[in-house]
A = this chain, B = another copy of it.
Amino acid sequence: MPLIVTGSVGIDTIHAPTGSAEGVLGGSTTYFAAAASFHAPVRVVAAAGGDWPDEHRKVLEGFEGVCLEGLQVRSESRTFAWGGRYHDNMNSRETLFTELGVLDEPGPPVPDAYRDSEFVFLANTHPAEQARLLDHFPERKLAVADTMDLWINIAHPELMTLLSKVDGVVMNDQEAEQLTEITNPISAARKILEMGPTFAVIKKGEHGCIFVHGDDVATLPAYPAEAHQVVDPTGAGDSFAGGMMGHIASVGMTDFFSIQTALAWGTVTASFAIESFSLDRLARLTRAEIDQRMSEFQAAARVG
């Protein structure tokens, strides 16, 4: 059940109350692929520049099951670079700089060998580019898109076109409110389903997520991390999506119940990603640790 992710590779510089990390591996596809790889093989479509460090590639290659055939390196271009600073409570951040680099150029080609991809995740980028990439996967069984406030503001028509083509959408609660002008995340998700998707996952950060699929609703808390366990929230959303889509691809099912189960795997996988800067924690993570934490999460979030 081939799984694919399209999006960015990045070079991140992070400042947080827990420390700083300069020029480390970042980007949506990297976090997604690393997280997904614990559940299913995953293909990557993205572009990097000539400045992309060899050690960053080696980190990604260290995740068994991650295929980098679709990762194009453009020697004359620069890799997307992002700098951010987290504030004391780790729940808000400011962008210090953004250097688009390859993201300001035409999108990456999709290898022919990837045309049979069945589970497609379009990580955040311009919705017109997401729609272009989607067209490369005629055999898809499930396509899910992420988006962000910028595109809701400046590319609304293209976003609406994209929403009419995908099966599911993942966004955070503020974005869902911005898109629908509805505060309640369940009611906002219902409005989003009217725009096309079969389901919507509304991420609430430390408060978990809401999942609306047709008439069915699920709610899931975040993994109960303590303050000292949160080192760097960067990539949490992409790691969540990676764990979720990885589980879906591994079982090959797209019904409400299967996706609801996948949300918990996404939550648990992402809970490790935030324990370090960059992909450091994911790079030394084992499937056994994920399974152990899933058991702990199930016990902690038991209902009645």
A residues touching B (Cβ–Cβ < 8 Å)? 88-91, 182-184, 186-187, 190, 204, 207-208, 210, 217-228, 230, 260-261, 264-265, 268, 294, 297-298, 300-304
A228 to B191, CA, bound (A): 13
**Known A207-B204, A260-B302: A224·B217 in contact at CB below 8 Å:** yes
- Return the chain B residue nearest A261 by Cβ: B304
Is B264 touching A303 in the complex (CB atoms < 8 A)?
Answer: yes
- Report how far A220 CA is from B221 CA in the complex, Å: 6
Q: Is the CB of A207 within 8 A of B210?
A: no
Shortest CB distance A61–B (Å)? 29
Contacts A207-B208, A298-B304, A300-B219; A187 near B226 (Cβ below 8 A): yes
Q: Complex formed: what's the CA distance from A280 to B53 in Å?
A: 65
Given contacts A220-B303, A297-B303, 7 further A-B contacts (CB under 8 A): A186-B224, A204-B207, A218-B301, A219-B222, A261-B302, A264-B303, A301-B301
The answer to whether B219 and A301 have CB atoms under 8 Å apart is yes
B218 touches A300 (CB 8 A): yes
Q: Shortest Cβ distance from A165 into chain B, in angstroms? A: 27
Point out the residues of chain B lying under 8 angstroms from A190, CB to CB.
226
Give this chain's copy count: 2
Q: In the complex, which of the residues B183, B207, B268 contacts A88, with contact meaning CB atoms closer than 8 Å?
A: B183
Instruction: Please give, as numbers and ranges, the residues of chain B lying within 8 Å of A186 by CB-CB distance.
Output: 224-227
Interfacial chain B residues near A227, Cβ < 8 Å: 182-184, 186-187
What residues of B have a CB within 8 angstroms of the CB of A302 in the complex? Answer: 218, 260-261, 303
Chain B residues whose C-beta falls within 8 Å of the C-beta of A90 in the assembled complex? 183
> Judging by beta carbons under 8 Å apart, are B226 and A184 in contact?
yes
Alpha-carbon separation in the docked complex, A89 to B261 (Å): 30
25 pairs across A/B with beta carbons < 8 Å?
Answer: A91-B183, A183-B227, A184-B225, A186-B225, A186-B226, A187-B226, A187-B227, A190-B226, A207-B207, A217-B224, A218-B300, A218-B301, A219-B221, A219-B301, A220-B221, A220-B301, A220-B303, A260-B302, A264-B303, A265-B304, A268-B304, A297-B303, A297-B304, A298-B304, A301-B303
Give the distance in Å from the alpha carbon of A63 to the alpha carbon of B300 in the complex: 33
Please report the C-alpha to C-alpha distance between residue A91 and residue B301 in the assembled complex, in whole angstroms: 24
B contact residues around A223 at 8 Å (CB): 219
Nearest-neighbor residue (CB-CB) of A264 within chain B: B304
User: Shortest CB–CB separation between residue A35 and chain B, in angstroms?
Assistant: 15
- A264 vs B302: C-alpha distance when bound (angstroms): 9
Residues of chain B lying within 8 A (CB to CB) of residue A184? 89, 225-227, 230
CB A247 to nearest CB in B, in angstroms, measures: 9
Q: Which residues of B contact A183 (CB under 8 A)?
A: 88-91, 227
